[in-house]
Structure 1
Amino acid sequence: MKEVWLIRHGETEWNANKRFQGHLDIPLSPRGIGQAFRLAERLSRSQESFDSLYSSDLRRAAETAAPLAQALRLPLLTTPLLREIDVGELAGLNRQEAEARFPEFLAQAAQDPWNTPRPGGESMAQVASRLQAFLQDLPPGRHLVVTHGGVIRAALKLALDLNGEAWRRFHIQNTSITRILFPGKEVLCVGDVGHLETWADHLSDESLK
């Protein structure tokens, strides 16, 4: 059995400004760096042990994974299979700009959001295909996987055999943890951000060290 802890990367400035990033190599914002370190501190205090740490090879994911690698003393393995969806010509645009430039794509995507490719880019079905390739090669064990919101939604669709647009309704926050069992397809939790909640401030309390 494979227990996969899917973690979305920390916040970037483009996340905050609601711009499509896709394969563009956008770094973490100062807020995102802080989120990554809080995540690492939480997992370093966890009773769970992990067999490996994987990350998308895009900078925002690798920068999120780096504090985990240090805190958990795990080698960091990167792969393009875990990249966010390639948004093609949408990269750098916000929603309003995309609506003005690509109305036909948005109309098609409204009818079939899973199979419609972004202009010059990928469809969610293609993202799911490369994610499946990654999961199939993953050995049994408990694995940390730092990736992107679209990839995590694809994983949830696959695990839960979701129909229609249900996969789009999950709120996957930056540095949230989603735990899935493969090949059993059991979802243990979705979007856990306990390390970012107010009560988690004690994790950085010097008196507890």
Structure 2
Amino acid sequence: MEVWLIRHGVTGHNKNGFWQGQRDVPLAPEGVEQARRLAIRLERLGLTWTALYTSDLSRAVRTAEILGERLGLVPRRDRRLREVCVGELSGLSREQVRQRYAEYVASSLRDPWHTRFPGGETLAELSERVWSFLRELGGGRYLVVSHGGAIRTAVLRVLGGEGAVPWRIRLENTSITRLHWPEGVRGEGFINTVGDAAHLEPAWKPEE
């Protein structure tokens, strides 16, 4: 089984440094273009896809729709692929969080995996729901559109790095992270690629 995890296209909150979590923020025009470039790149590969799944938040759904239109796939929505719920931090800037939630920030630096976002989830809870989705997939090659936090926890799960700081894994919007479970292999799988965003490089030619 091979899973290609795609981070959704960029949003206004991403560009301006605001926490999103499960707030339903739409793609920015730049995010639509990012998804279009990724769709062209994936089409050129000529691969066969078993299915296309997406988080049910609109920024992920729209990214998946753009991919699906070009690849001939209908996105299937699954709430487990949502971003972590950041609760009271949603819509705040990083500076506002540092000023208003100093205790949370200090705790998250000591234990990022189990510190609960104020009024929200922990990263451990996020990891469990994402992993419950991945465990249900059968053999095949899947496209899965999700979110930065969700993809980072999946990477750390494969590496056995639960408890590490996930934000040190850099994932551009619409980047590709590939997880692989060879036939007959059990366990947490392998990582082929993390954060591949070659289609966003200025030298990459999206012309059809």
Does the alignment reach a TM-score above 0.5? Answer: yes
Q: Quote how far apart the aligned CAs of 1:58 are.
A: 0.2
Give aligned-pair identity as a percent. Answer: 44
Q: Deviations over 1:127-177 (max 9, x none)?
A: 000011101111211000000000111011111112542533210100000
* Match in the other structure for 1:196: 200
Letter paired with 2:63: T
1:64 corresponds in structure 2 to 63
Mapped partners of 2:90, 2:189: distance in 1: 32
Distance in 2 (CA, whole Å) between partners of 1:130 and 1:116 is 17
Q: Is the 8 A contact 2:156 2:164 kept in 1?
A: no
Moved over 3 A (4+): none
Q: Distance in 2 between matches of 1:88 and 1:184?
A: 29
Segment drifting more, 180-189 vs 9-18: 180-189
Q: Distance in 1 between matches of 2:188 and 2:91?
A: 38
Provide the secondary structure at the position in 2 that maps to 1:154: helix
- What's the CA shift for 1:100? 1.4
* TM-score (ref. length: structure 1): 0.93
Partner of 2:177: 178
| Structure 1 residues without counterparts, runs of 5 or longer | none
Task: Show CA shifts across 1:59-78 (max 9, x none).
Answer: 00001111111111111101
Q: Distance between the aligned counterparts of 2:165 and 2:112, measured in 1? A: 11
Structure 1 letter corresponding to 2:198: G
Provide the residue aligned with 2:184 in structure 1.
Answer: none
Q: Structure 1's 111 and 166: CA in aligned 2 closer, same or farther, altered over 3 A?
A: closer
Equivalent residue, structure 2, for 1:9: 8
- 2:203 is paired with a residue of what secondary structure? helix
RMSD: 1.2
Pairs within 5 Å for 1:150-189: 150-162=149-161, 164-165=163-164, 167-182=166-181, 183=187, 185-189=189-193
Deviation at 1:21, TM superposition (A): 0.4
Match of 2:123 in 1: 124
Is 77-86 or 103-112 further displaced after alignment? 103-112
5 Å matches for 1:38-187?
38-162=37-161, 164-165=163-164, 167-182=166-181, 183=187, 185-187=189-191
TM-score, normalisation: structure 2: 0.94
Post-superposition offset of 1:101: 1.2
Separation (CA, whole Å) in 2 of partners of 1:161 and 1:87: 24
Q: How many residue pairs get matched?
A: 203
Q: Secondary structure at the match of 1:198?
A: coil
Task: Give a deviation string over 1:72-110, Cα, whole Å, max 9, x none.
Answer: 111110111000000000000001111111111111111
1:184, distance to aligned residue in structure 2 (A) = 5.3
Equivalent residue letter for 1:20? W
